[in-house]
């Protein structure tokens, strides 16, 4: 029986797959047109699977195309980079030791006569003269970098030969005597120039069309080169490699390679470490999008057809909504639902089953989430921008030329909304982003409840086991008042976001205590963030904002009412944090557009009393 795959590329023999027929046809048409195609997207979005299937189609169904698939996995390159880096670090400490030795001797003997020209130092239990040229690997850094380029092209050539052999085997053909002799006795590929010559000569020796032997070989066997993990290309190779591809392309048809596909996470501009390299302006960008709702149905229906187990229609919709169609998360959720929850195969997979799977996705650290959190931790600027997206009602303009916005888009965290603003569209990603940036311990947990009360979250359940969100938020309002200026001491939290961070931590503690699930509703942007708490088959929605004036406060209620009705929820909660010097706290419950909304305006202190104006 097939399974839902989450480890590496999937294949139709072992896994349920989304065929992407429309996208595959589009890609193959571009290949036939001789396009040099680039696709850069986050990891685990199905790029490799998609292109492997497209290349398989070219190999078996399109005899006029000779596809060669490469992978610039950087394992070898990483070793060489480490070797060079180690040499440089070694020399740094060598120079530092020379300097300190020089200072010591100068201090000991004074400036008269000066120190010895080349003081001796002790490193790794021995000594050697200090002249710099005697330091191992100092004078051959460039040679070491050249070694990585030579290693890269040597490995590239070996991979190309292996792929050529694979294509002939798949087609049950053998190369001609001339081609076999060329592959065995040519000088190989040693740099980007010899790479151009190799492909030109290789294409000339490919078999001609037996139906039309008078046609030039370039018109009967077109070489297609697909490069996966392009990010792994060594820095000192990138410039020449791209120049060669551009040289081949602008030379015109017939050419070899006829078409090139470059697949990676970072785009050409982000990889362009050398700003003197001209733009790779021959590229034809190709997008492999997340799964649509219909594609999720297609994927799950394959399982149903084989096993007989049905998914409730609302489960499929929730699965797509909560993952934003992200391929890895879709397959991981399906794994949990069909393999790990032990749902009898005779039973339908229902909303309750999905809630359990969703909770697991919010708590586990799978490889996809590891990639996400590792990437967003790289810079505090990422946190600042993401918090601004969720705070500023004016929104943040989506500027693809902004490096921070560009990187977050590359990682699949944000996208361009219909009105040209940044938005976060993946609820599971948003949950992990907030967990990443919210302090695990804020130092105020003991103040959640007043001293004269029995401080337990269990007290906020009704006799029937439902949540008393209004009382819970009333207590949060009082908690903020009790702690006063101590909220300024919450670690690693920008002052403008501290109220939201505290509310998230507070609600998260409550939800865990009562066995519920807290998630985020998206798209999130333009200053609003909706929290959804699911418990005992009921949904509770809390929207948070920062005070931006009474007009926007009232508009926010209308927006929340529309959202509540769309979710078939009859009451909601609206929490607005007021950072003004003279805030106006408020609590009110009213009916808006047929639903009940309880609103809070909660002051957030700006300075300790001694520093207040």
pLDDT of residue 212: 53
CA–CA distance, 256 with 541 (Å, rounded to integer): 58
pLDDT of residue 132: 40
- pLDDT tens digits for range 410-441: 888 899 988 899 988 899 998 998 888 877 66
> Phi and psi (nearest 5°) for 391?
-115, -40
pLDDT of residue 272: 57
Say if residues 397 and 403 touch (Cβ distance below 8 Å).
no
Share of the chain above pLDDT 70, in %: 77
Lowest-pLDDT range of 74-83, 153-162, 567-576: 74-83
Domains annotated on the chain, with CATH: 21-74+152-285 (3.40.50), 76-142 (no CATH), 293-364 (1.10.8), 441-611 (no CATH)
Q: DSSP string of 309-347?
A: --B-HHHHHHHHHHHTT-HHHHHHHHHIIIIIS---TTS
Q: 302: which residues sit within 8 A by CB, 6+ positions away?
A: 2, 16, 17
CA–CA distance, 557 with 561 (Å, rounded to integer): 6
Q: Burial of 346 by CB count in 10 Å (0-12 exposed, 13-18 middle, 19+ buried)? A: exposed
Q: For the chain, what is the mean pLDDT?
A: 81
pLDDT-derived band at 186 (thresholds 50, 70, 90) equals: confident
Indicate the DSSP class of residue 220: T
Lowest-pLDDT range of 97-106, 336-345, 444-453, 474-483: 97-106
Q: Burial of 393 by CB count in 10 Å (0-12 exposed, 13-18 middle, 19+ buried)? A: middle
- pLDDT tens digits for range 360-416: 999 998 989 998 898 888 888 888 888 888 777 677 899 988 989 988 888 888 999
Q: Which range in 101-105, 270-274, 507-511 is most confidently predicted, on average pLDDT?
A: 507-511
pLDDT of residue 104: 55
Closest CA to 251 of 452, 75, 34, 105: 34
Q: What CA–CA distances, in Å, run from 131 to 116, 144, 164?
A: 12, 21, 51
pLDDT-derived band at 454 (thresholds 50, 70, 90) equals: low
Closest CA to 34 of 341, 321, 282: 282
- pLDDT tens digits for range 509-562: 899 999 999 988 766 555 567 899 999 889 999 999 889 899 999 999 999 999
pLDDT of residue 283: 75
Indicate the DSSP class of residue 292: P
pLDDT of residue 597: 98
CA–CA distance, 457 with 476 (Å, rounded to integer): 12
pLDDT of residue 269: 62
pLDDT of residue 136: 41
Q: Burial of 44 by CB count in 10 Å (0-12 exposed, 13-18 middle, 19+ buried)? A: buried
pLDDT of residue 365: 87
- pLDDT tens digits for range 309-352: 999 999 999 999 999 999 999 999 999 999 999 999 999 999 99
Share of the chain above pLDDT 90, in %: 41
CA–CA distance, 478 with 472 (Å, rounded to integer): 10
Prediction pTM value = 0.77
Buried b (16+ CB within 10 A) or exposed e, 409-430: bbbbbbbebeeebbbbbbbbbb
Lowest-pLDDT range of 199-208, 326-335, 349-358: 199-208
- Residue 215 scores a pLDDT above 70: no
- Residue 70 scores a pLDDT above 60: yes
Q: Is 355 helix (H, G, I), strand (E, B) or coil?
A: helix
Q: 21: which residues sit within 8 A by CB, 6+ positions away?
A: none
């Amino acid at each position: 029986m097939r399974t839902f795959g989450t480890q590496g590329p999937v294949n139709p023999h072992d896994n349920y797959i989304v065929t992407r027929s429309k996208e595959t046809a589009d890609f193959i048409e571009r290949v036939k047109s001789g396009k040099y195609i680039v696709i850069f997207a986050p990891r685990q979005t199905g790029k490799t699977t998609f292109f492997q299937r497209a290349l398989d189609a070219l190999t078996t169904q399109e005899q006029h195309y000779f596809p060669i698939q490469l992978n610039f996995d950087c394992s070898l390159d990483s070793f060489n980079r480490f070797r060079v880096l180690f040499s440089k670090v070694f020399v740094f400490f060598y120079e530092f030791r020379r300097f300190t030795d020089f200072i010591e001797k100068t201090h000991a003997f004074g400036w008269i006569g000066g120190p010895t020209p080349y003081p001796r130092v002790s490193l790794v239990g021995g000594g050697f003269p200090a002249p710099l040229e005697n330091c191992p690997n100092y004078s051959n850094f460039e040679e070491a970098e050249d070694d990585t380029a030579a290693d890269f092209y040597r490995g590239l050539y070996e991979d190309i030969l292996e792929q050529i052999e694979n294509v002939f085997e798949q087609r049950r053909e053998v190369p001609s005597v001339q081609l076999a002799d060329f592959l065995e006795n040519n000088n190989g590929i040693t740099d980007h120039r010899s790479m151009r010559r190799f492909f030109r000569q290789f294409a000339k020796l490919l078999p001609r069309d037996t139906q039309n032997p008078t046609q030039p070989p370039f018109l009967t066997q077109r070489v297609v080169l697909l490069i996966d993990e392009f990010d792994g290309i060594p820095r000192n190779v990138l410039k020449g490699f791209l120049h060669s591809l551009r040289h081949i392309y602008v030379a015109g048809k017939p050419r070899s390679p006829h078409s090139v596909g470059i697949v990676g996470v970072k785009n050409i501009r982000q990889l362009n470490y050398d700003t003197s390299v001209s733009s790779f302006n021959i590229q034809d960008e190709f997008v492999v999008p997340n799964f649509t709702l219909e594609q999720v149905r297609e994927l799950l229906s394959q399982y149903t057809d084989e096993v007989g187990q049905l998914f409730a229609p609302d489960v499929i919709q929730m699965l797509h909504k909560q993952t934003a169609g992200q391929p890895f998360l879709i397959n991981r959720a399906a794994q949990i639902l069909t393999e790990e929850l032990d749902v009898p195969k005779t039973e339908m997979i229902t909303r309750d089953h999905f809630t359990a799977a969703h909770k697991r996705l919010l708590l586990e650290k799978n490889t996809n989430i590891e990639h996400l959190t590792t990437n967003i931790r790289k810079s505090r600027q990422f946190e600042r921008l993401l918090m601004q997206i969720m705070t500023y009602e004016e929104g943040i303009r989506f500027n693809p030329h902004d490096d921070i916005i560009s990187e977050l888009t590359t990682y699949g965290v944000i996208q361009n909304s219909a009105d040209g603003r940044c938005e976060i569209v993946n609820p599971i990603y948003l949950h992990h982003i907030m967990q990443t940036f919210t302090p695990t311990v804020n130092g105020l947990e003991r103040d959640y409840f007043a001293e004269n009360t029995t401080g337990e979250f269990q007290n906020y359940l009704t006799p029937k086991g439902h949540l008393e969100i209004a009382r819970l938020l009333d207590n949060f309002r009082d908690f903020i008042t009790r702690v006063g200026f101590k909220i300024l001491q919450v670690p690693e939290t920008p002052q403008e976001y501290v109220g939201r961070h505290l509310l998230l931590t507070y609600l998260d503690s409550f939800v865990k205590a009562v066995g519920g699930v807290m998630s985020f509703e998206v798209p999130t942007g333009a200053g609003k963030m909706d929290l959804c708490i699911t418990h005992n088959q009921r949904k509770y929605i809390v929207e948070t904002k920062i005070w931006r004036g009474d007009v926007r406060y009232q508009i926010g209620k209308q927006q929340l009412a529309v959202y509540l009705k769309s979710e078939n929820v009859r009451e909601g909660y609206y929490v607005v944090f007021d950072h003004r010097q003279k805030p106006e706290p408020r609590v009110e419950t009213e009916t808006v557009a047929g639903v009940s909304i309880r609103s809070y305006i909660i002051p957030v202190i700006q300075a300790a009393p001694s520093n207040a104006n």
